[in-house]
């Protein structure tokens, strides 16, 4: 059994930093469905595609009453540049503090690349019900088609 929250558990209510320097936390979306997608780094190929895919479906999510929130460890100023460069519509938040939401979920973890160990974000998406409980988790996400799959699952919730 994992010590990290999973389906049926409440999403930890950890504050994140919005691009304007304010705070945003999961409880801000209480009473609504929420999709929180964690990605490794702004302005990298896979992360850009993922954010663009969620942006292209942002109106569909909004019409269905589903809030979106993209999260990485990048600082708020980098998020601002990323949003401006690609015209992103899905709100972004920064989870840069140690012990933050990605730590609480166990998705900020040691990764390996070419034999080098480093800390990194595991691309993971959480669908949270209006009650604040995790309804579905996509681990080690493959970007292609992911946003559409999440939209379909969120609409069915």
Which residues have a catalytic role annotated?
47
Secondary structure of residue 52 in the 3-state scheme = helix
Rounded distance, CA 131 to CA 149, Å?
Answer: 22
End-to-end Cα distance, the chain: 25
Rounded to an integer, what distance in angstroms lies between the CA atom of residue 76 and that of residue 49? 19
- Structure tokens given for 59: 């109106």
- SS3 of 133, please? strand
CA 79/CA 94 separation, integer angstroms: 8
């Amino acid at each position: 059994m994992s010590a990290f929250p999973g389906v049926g558990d409440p999403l930890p209510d950890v504050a994140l930093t919005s691009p304007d320097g304010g705070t945003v936390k999961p409880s801000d979306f209480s009473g609504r469905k929420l999709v929180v997608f964690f990605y490794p780094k702004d302005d990298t190929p896979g992360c850009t595609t993922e954010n663009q895919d969620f942006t292209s479906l942002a109106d569909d999510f909004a019409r269905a009453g589903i809030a979106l929130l993209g999260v990485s460890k990048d600082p708020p100023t980098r998020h601002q540049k990323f949003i401006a460069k690609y015209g992103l519509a899905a709100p972004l938040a920064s989870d840069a503090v140690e012990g933050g939401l990605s730590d609480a979920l166990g998705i900020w973890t040691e990764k390996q690349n070419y034999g080098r160990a480093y800390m990194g974000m595991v691309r993971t998406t959480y669908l949270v019900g209006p009650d604040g409980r995790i309804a579905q988790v996509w681990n080690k996400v493959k970007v292609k088609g992911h946003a559409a799959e999440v939209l379909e699952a969120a609409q069915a919730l």
